[in-house]
Amino acid sequence: MGNNSNWHGTTIILIRKDNDVVVAGDGQVSFGNTVLKSTAKKVRKIEKRNVIAGFAGSTADALTLFERLEAKLEKHAGNLTRASVELAKDWRTDKYLRRLEALMAIADKEKSFIISGTGDVLEPEGGIIGIGSGGNYALAAAKVLIETKMSAEEIARKSIKVASEICVFTNNNITLEKI
């Protein structure tokens, strides 16, 4: 999160395998060494547009950004690429949004993106995204597991579990959405 921030929250993994796309996140929110909440829900599905998103950052910021993403998807008739670019632009320039320190992992059936408050919209290689405090651990686990016969959902769950065993800011209360 921020350089001088004591907030830590959430490990998110997004897996694209076979014909499934899954985003999973843990539920921990910490401040310094204290766990404030163990069941935060930082993974959402926008049913109407068949889009899933996971968010690393504070819960209030997550809700704000999910709402903005939903509005952008409506405005751009469900075009995820266009909605992502527009959201990143707003995030970088809007006075209120600019203060939100976070990352989002979003996907539809065709594409996956990481969106940041600095205006970046990145399309990762290999169909795997890991963000948040334990994101690198979950990403490493997923990169190994993607070559197995495990499903996208099994890989996502196992990757969060691995991250929770290494990263003190990650727990094993998993929220998962699939399209």
81 is known as an active-site residue:
no
Active site residue: 10, 11, 64, 175, which one? 10
Q: Which residues 6+ apart lie within 8 Å of 96 measured at CB?
A: none
SS3 letters across 12-64: EEEEEECCEEEEEECCCEEECCEEEECCCCCEEEEHHHCEEEEEECCHHHHHH
| Dihedral pair phi/psi, residue 100, rounded to 5° | -75, 120
Catalytic annotation, residues = 10
